[in-house]
Structure 1
Amino acid sequence: MAKEIQFEVDIELLKASIARQVDRTDRNRFRDKSRTTIVTVMTAIGGAMTSTLIGLSKFVPAYENVLQAIALVTGGLMAVVVAWDRLFDHRKLWIISSKGNRRFLELSEDILHAEETDTLTSDLAKAFYLEYKDALQSMNEDWDRLRTTSRN
C-alpha cells in the first residue's frame, strides 16, 4: 500500500506558476508557429524558383549557365532550410506548446471559477496542483519523445 503524501497548496503561488507557464508556452507557441510558417513558405518559394530557373535556362540559351547556377544555389539553400527544420521539428514543438498552453489556461479558469463561486477547498487546491504537475510532466515527456525519436 502506497503511503499518501500530505501537503498544503499555496493557491497564490500555484496561480503565479500557472501564469508563468501560460506566458512561456504562449511565447514558445508563437515562435514555433512562426518558424513553421517560414520553413513552409521558404520551401515553397525555393522549389518554385528552382523549377522556374531551370525552365528559363532552356528558353534563354545566352544565360543558361547563370540560371542553372542560381537554381543550384536556390536548391542548396532550400536543403539547408529543410535540414534546419528537420533538426528542430518546429511544427511538433508548436503542437506541444499549444497543448500545454491550453491545459494551463483551462486550469487557470478552473481555479478562478472555484474562487469566484467560493468552492475552493484544500482538496480541490491539491487536485489543481496535481493537474498542474501532470501538465508539466506531459509537456516534458512529449519534448523528450520528440528529441529522442529517430527521424530518419
Structure 2
Amino acid sequence: MSAQLRDIAGELAGVLWREHTVYRERSGGVVIRGEHVRRWISLAPTGGRGEALVRVGRILDGGTTAPARSEAVVPLSAGTDVLAATCRRLLAEAAADVAPGAPGRAAPGRSGKAGKAGKAGKTRRSGKAGRSGGSGRHTGFGSWVILACVAGLIALYVHTVAMRG
C-alpha cells in the first residue's frame, strides 16, 4: 500500500504543483509539500481496502506545518483526476477557513459540517472551533505585573522631569 501511495502521490503532485517535495511519513503515508503555495497534502492508508485519507494543511513561517484544516476519504481506484479534484476542493476549503486578519483562526460564519454525504465526499474539520472551559480571564497575572512596572517607570520619569524643571 505504501508503494502504491508513493506512486499516486508523485502523479498527483505533478498535476497540482510544478514545485513540490514528496516524502514518506513514519505512519506509512505520503506527504506532498508545496512550499511556494505554503500548503501540504497527506495521503494515508485507511482501514478500508483501496482507500486513502487525504488531509490538507498550511505550511507556517519557518517551514513547520500546521495541523490539517480538512480531510476526506477517497477511493484510490477513482484515478488521479478525481483525487486532484478532491485535493483542490480541500485546499480551497483550507484557504477559506483562515481569516485574513487572524492567521490560524476559522473565518466567521464557517461551520464544521460536511458539505456532501457519502464516504468519498465526507469532509471533517480538525482544529478547535472555540475555547472550551477556561476562566474567561483575558489578562494573566504576569501581564498585570509588567503593566504596573511600565506605569511605575513612566511615573518616575514624569516625577524626575518635574523636579528638574
TM over 0.5, shorter chain: no
Greater relative contact order (Cα < 8 A, sep 6+):
1
Q: Give the TM-score normalised by the residue count of structure 2.
A: 0.21
Q: Which has a greater percent of strand?
A: 2
Q: Which has a greater percent of helix?
A: 1
Structure (1 or 2) with the larger CA radius of gyration: 1
Q: Give the TM-score normalised by the residue count of structure 1.
A: 0.22
